[in-house]
């Protein structure tokens, strides 16, 4: 005796009324993003899945846009000598700006001072610089 294998449960069941009707596959239209070409294919489960996956990939993953970086500004390190009373003004100014809600660093204060001096007229710059005493530069001897 030979046993018959039962029909697979995943196979679609077709009734007699359905078998007499002609089967028309719907058409899928896919627009390609790059070439702007229109592709028409009959719909099958395999092509629908593959077409929708590629369409989703093209729609979801646009080409990255290159962002131009600003050229890196070169920094200059320097040391200088100043009287203790003038150096203490850094602390006073930093505390004032902290209370105003905009904390700054010592280098930012120096840069702001340079900006203000640069914006002055020649006469105003000469007047301000005449008030600044000349000091002996360099490291103290031990």
Is residue 98, in this structure, part of any structural domain at all?
Answer: yes
Lookup result for tokens 């899945």: 49
Structural domain tally of the chain? 2
11 vs 120, residue with greater confidence: 120
Is residue 91, in this structure, part of any structural domain at all?
Answer: yes
Is residue 126, in this structure, part of any structural domain at all?
Answer: yes
Give 96's pLDDT tier (boundaries 50, 70, 90).
very high
Q: Is 96 exposed, middle or buried (0-12, 13-18, 19+ CB in 10 A)?
A: exposed
Is residue 55, in this structure, part of any structural domain at all?
Answer: yes
Residue-level pLDDT at 73? 87
Is residue 88, in this structure, part of any structural domain at all?
Answer: yes
Is residue 10, in this structure, part of any structural domain at all?
Answer: no
Enclosing domain of residue 32: 26-60
Is residue 9, in this structure, part of any structural domain at all?
Answer: no
pTM of the model: 0.48
**CA pair distance 101, 103, nearest whole angstrom:** 6
94 and 56 belong to one structural domain: no
Supply the DSSP string of 25-78, one letter for each residue: PPEEEEE-TTT--EEEEE--HHHHHHHHHHHHHHHH-PPPPPPPPPPPPPP---
Residue-level pLDDT at 78? 86
Query: Which of 63-67, 83-87, 137-141 is predicted most confidently?
Result: 83-87
Residue 99 has pLDDT above 70, yes or no: yes
């Amino acid at each position: 005796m030979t046993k018959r294998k039962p029909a697979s449960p995943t196979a679609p069941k077709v009734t007699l009324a359905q078998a007499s009707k002609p089967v028309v596959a719907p058409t899928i239209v896919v627009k390609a993003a790059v070439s702007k070409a229109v592709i028409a294919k009959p719909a099958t489960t395999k092509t629908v899945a593959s077409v929708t996956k590629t369409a989703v990939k093209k729609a979801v993953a646009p080409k990255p846009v290159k962002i131009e970086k600003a050229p890196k500004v070169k920094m200059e390190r320097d040391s200088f000598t100043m009287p203790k009373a003038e150096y203490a003004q850094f602390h006073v100014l930093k505390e004032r700006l902290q209370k105003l809600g905009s904390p700054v660093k010592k280098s930012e204060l120096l840069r702001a001072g340079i900006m203000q001096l640069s914006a002055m007229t020649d006469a105003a710059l000469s007047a301000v610089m005449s008030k600044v005493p000349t000091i002996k530069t360099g490291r103290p001897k031990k």
